[in-house]
């Protein structure tokens, strides 16, 4: 496995050269996990063409030594000092850091004390295209997520709370071999389905209410993301009408998922259907996002996103319509971009 | 409940006046939950003596309107612009933001576009002292955590994986009425107990190994933190000796928990015992931390911490000794500071 990480660092070093950087400092947990195989808060890593270093306190040093290979571990030094030392010793002139994943305090210190510069994170584009090993985990995560939701929906009963429904899905994930939940699971009942980011609470489901599950699991370091909305009881025409619009919007988004298109094209395709049906102002979020080590990562599927879709990118398509106080409908799947279209990863074994 | 939050904002406004600030911008989830009762990523809040505003996208606006009271909700405006407008309208000259909870990108924009200034977060000291409502939740969280661990330890068997043990504890938390886990639960078997921040994996426990649980639950927004280390099988003298030193160190720390002492005094008391026994270099972390809406918050119990202990602060005392490749021992409880000492919150109903 260590070769995978060394290879990623080598490819990153190539990208840095293109961007005229001598190195880049990473502080985000997901970036560091992607580059070293070790996942934890509380350490930083520098990648250069001349080698990779991680900076750690004594607290984590032992775990980093056991959990990584091919990186030098600098223990117990102040980050600014350690970086200054390496800059001199290896003639590293321009070292970047991610201004969106670094605090204002730390960023100011890196600029003042070590001469680093804020610079867009070059890893996002590498992480967006998945290799075969990553795809295997993403496939398993997608299948487990779909199967857990399929298993749960027919077991939903009036009187169950949102928290109980979310726990049923989580327990099913575990039964099916997931490592963990992929993010805080959403289960919403009745009018709560109209709140896109609802947190499950003690609200009990009643007969003749909408139910929305927005859930995903993690397998290894990789995640999946799936939303299903259904009506518990006898479905009124108003729900059916909105559901069909969202379903059509999702399919239009799917059709735009292919190499050569951009994130904004997929967004426009889904959003166009909803706007045309007169519900544009009730679709209050972007159409999707990439999925990988993070549940939200590049490519971004939203208005103005220039991200070009490439084979083996993994992303969601998740249009929704939310009618405040009444109900909301969102339908979401996680897709792989293929050479000429897409493949749905959030499918059960027998779908 | 809304009065609690309005009262917190009023007390904060008083603190701002002392610090010669006309307002403070919050972006951290826990700070915003403490000030508004609404917990979510993706919005910001400004507190001033003249009122409180939150800034949100359309995505969250409905939830914020339903979940808060007494704050004005500004929807869909750029943060810099919205702040500039309020500064002019209400003559707010000096507005601070937290340089440790704001990204470098956002911080630079706030300084340049809205004239804000990096300034220490004034809420930490307010949050550190708990009121009666908070204490009730912290007590329940402490009791559930202790009872779940008491229930689990006698049920541990050879062959169980770390993940299985962590899930047993989590499921027991849920059975006992917890809202959720308080943080990623640690269960470590054998030599993994020597890694203070181990992530539970597929390693199965064998007979005659050490086991360490570092776990806590959440009740409402409040958390607890407890560590127990025990030996599964027949305990060797080396483990017993180290265990007794850590136990003595924890008691010495307890004795230093009282108003008038500082965080550094508690740290020195625990650390002194371990140093004297010759294990100083194997105690690689601080002795404790405050606990509340965040699992780690003020007061800080570590070397040089000037934080003065006050009645109704809640904090951990958790010394440890870690022998790489062999085993580690950590013992941790969550305590309330009383008028003349401490009360242990991580105790079962019958302890």
User: pLDDT at position A350, please?
Assistant: 75
Please identify every stretch of chain B with a pLDDT value under 50, giving residue numbers as ranges. Answer: 1-2
Answer whether A227's CB lies under 8 Å from A332's CB: yes
Q: Do B197 and A118 touch (CB under 8 A)?
A: no
Q: Do B195 and A100 touch (CB under 8 A)?
A: no
B81: left (phi over 0), alpha (psi -120 to 50) or beta: alpha
pTM, two decimals, is 0.93
pLDDT digits (tens, 9 = 90+) for A189-239: 999 999 999 999 999 999 999 999 999 999 999 999 999 999 999 999 999
Min mean pLDDT across A28-37, A121-130, B1-10, B265-274 is at B1-10
What percent of chain A is modeled with pLDDT above 70? 99
Helices (H), chain A: 2-18, 29-36, 58-67, 79-89, 104-114, 123-128, 132-152, 162-175, 237-255, 263-276
Question: Is A202 within 8 Å of chain B by CB?
Answer: no
Q: Do B197 and A100 touch (CB under 8 A)?
A: no
Nearest CA to B238 out of B154, B323, B310, B342 is that of B323
Q: Do B284 and A59 touch (CB under 8 A)?
A: yes
Is A255 strand, coil or helix? helix
Q: How many CB atoms lie within 10 A of CB B309?
A: 21
Question: Is A196 within 8 Å of chain B by CB?
Answer: yes
Calculate how close chain A gets to B105, using CA atoms only, in Å.
5
User: pLDDT at position A25, please?
Assistant: 98
User: pLDDT at position A1, please?
Assistant: 47
Calculate how close chain B gets to A351, using CA atoms only, in Å.
30
pLDDT digits (tens, 9 = 90+) for A141-171: 999 999 999 999 999 999 999 999 999 999 9
Q: How far apart are CA A233 and CA A157, in angstroms?
A: 10
Q: Do A199 and B39 touch (CB under 8 A)?
A: yes
Answer whether B168's CB lies under 8 Å from B152's CB: yes
Q: What is the band of A348 on the pLDDT scale with cuts at 50, 70, 90?
A: confident
Show residues of chain B in contact with A99, CB under 8 Å: 103-105, 108
User: pLDDT at position B78, please?
Assistant: 92
Q: Which two tokens stand for residue B196?
A: 């203070």
User: pLDDT at position B1, please?
Assistant: 47
User: pLDDT at position A59, please?
Assistant: 86
* Domains recognised in chain B with CATH numbers: 2-123 (3.40.350.10), 129-344 (3.90.230.10)
Q: How many CB atoms lie within 10 A of CB A306?
A: 9
Top residue of A104, A166, A202, A221 to mutate, by most chain B CBs within 10 Å, is A104
ipTM, interface predicted TM-score of the complex: 0.91
Between the alpha carbon of residue A83 and those of residues A45, A78, A89, A348, the distances in Å are: 10, 9, 10, 48
Q: How far apart are CA A192 and CA A188, in angstroms?
A: 5
Show residues of chain A in contact with B194, CB under 8 Å: 62
């Amino acid at each position: 496995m260590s070769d995978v990480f060394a290879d990623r660092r080598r490819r990153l070093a190539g990208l840095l050269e293109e961007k005229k950087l001598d190195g880049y400092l990473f502080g985000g947990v997901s970036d560091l996990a992607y580059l070293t195989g070790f996942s934890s808060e509380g350490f930083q890593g520098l990648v250069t063409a001349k080698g990779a270093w991680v900076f750690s306190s004594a607290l984590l040093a032992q775990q980093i030594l056991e959990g990584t290979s091919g990186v030098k571990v600098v223990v117990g030094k102040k980050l600014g000092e350690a970086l200054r030392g390496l800059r001199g010793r290896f003639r590293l002139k321009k070292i970047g850091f991610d201004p969106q994943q670094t605090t204002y305090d730390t960023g100011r210190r890196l600029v003042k004390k070590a001469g680093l510069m804020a610079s867009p994170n070059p890893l996002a584009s590498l992480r967006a295209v998945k290799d075969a090993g990553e795809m295997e985990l993403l496939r398993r995560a997608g299948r487990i997520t779909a199967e857990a939701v399929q298993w749960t929906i027919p077991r939903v009963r009036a009187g169950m709370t949102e928290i109980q429904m979310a726990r049923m899905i989580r327990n099913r994930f575990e039964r099916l071999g997931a490592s963990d939940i992929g993010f805080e699971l959403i289960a919403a009942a009745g009018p709560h389905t109209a709140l896109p980011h609802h947190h499950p609470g003690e609200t009990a489901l009643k007969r003749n209410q909408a139910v929305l599950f927005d859930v995903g699991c993690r397998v290894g370091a990789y995640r999946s993301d799936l939303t299903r909305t259904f009506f518990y009881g006898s479905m009124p025409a108003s729900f059916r009408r909105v559901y069909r619009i969202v379903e059509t919007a999702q399919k239009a988004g799917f059709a735009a998922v292919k190499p050569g298109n951009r994130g904004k094209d997929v967004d426009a395709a889904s959003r166009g259907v909803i706007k045309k049906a007169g519900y544009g102002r009730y679709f209050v979020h972007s159409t999707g996002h990439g999925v990988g080590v993070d549940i939200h990562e590049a490519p971004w599927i939203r208005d103005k996103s220039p991200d070009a879709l490439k084979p083996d990118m993994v992303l969601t398509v998740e249009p929704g319509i939310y009618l405040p106080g009444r109900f909301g409908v969102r339908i979401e799947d996680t897709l792989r971009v293929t050479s000429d279209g897409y493949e749905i990863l959030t499918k059960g074994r027998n779908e």
